[in-house]
Amino acid sequence: MTIFNKIVAGEIPSYKVAEDENFYAFLDINPMAKGHTLVVPKKTEEDYIFRLDDNTFAGLMQFSKRVAAAIEKAVPCKRIGIAVIGLEVPHTHIHLIPINKESDMNIGNPKLKLTSDEMAEIAAKINREFK
């Protein structure tokens, strides 16, 4: 069981921004930007996105698109960048990162230090915009 399975199951707390029967989106606790969100499939043991079955892959992308639209409305930015790295946690996931310039996507950039109140406020704003 991965840390993301435990988050989805509620065993580890998270700042949830969106959820449906198959997917779960929550704020990254080491964000590159305010609103940096991780999107995961709930029911998978696969850790490599390109090994997902076609329906799960398509559903993950469609759900991520809806989450990105909510982030864009809730967090001032020019675009939502998308990254799939897949090496740090053995569970398929997508990073959705609010960006204003290309260098905002540099994973080597210092991470933000946000309080739990700030994280909760951002998550609530995104959740209110999620359709």
Which residues 6+ apart lie within 8 Å of 44 measured at CB?
A: 52, 56, 91, 92
- The token duo for 70 is 């909510």
Residues 3-129, CATH architecture: 2-Layer Sandwich (3.30)
pLDDT digit string, tens, across residues 61-90? 999 999 999 999 999 999 999 999 988 889
DSSP state of 100: S
Length of the chain: 131
Rounded to a whole number, what is the distance in angstroms from the first to the last CA of the chain? Answer: 30
pLDDT digit string, tens, across residues 84-106? 998 888 999 999 999 999 999 99
pLDDT of amino acid 8: 96
pLDDT of amino acid 67: 99
Where does the pLDDT of residue 44 fall: very low under 50, low under 70, confident under 90, or very high at 90 and above?
confident
User: Rounded CA gap, 26 and 40, in Å?
Assistant: 9
pLDDT of amino acid 1: 85
DSSP state of 9: T
**Angle, helix 54-74 to helix 116-129, in steps of 10 degrees:** 110
Summarize the confidence of residues 120-129 as an average pLDDT: 98
| Residue 95 known to be catalytic | no
Q: Is the pLDDT of residue 53 over 90?
A: yes
pLDDT of amino acid 88: 85
Q: Helix H segments across the chain?
A: 3-8, 54-74, 116-129
Q: From the candidates 36, 91, 93, 95, give the one annotated as an active-site residue.
A: 93
pLDDT of amino acid 87: 85
Where does the pLDDT of residue 42 fall: very low under 50, low under 70, confident under 90, or very high at 90 and above?
very high
Query: What CA–CA distances, in Å, run from 54 to 40, 59, 61, 76, 89?
Result: 15, 8, 11, 33, 21
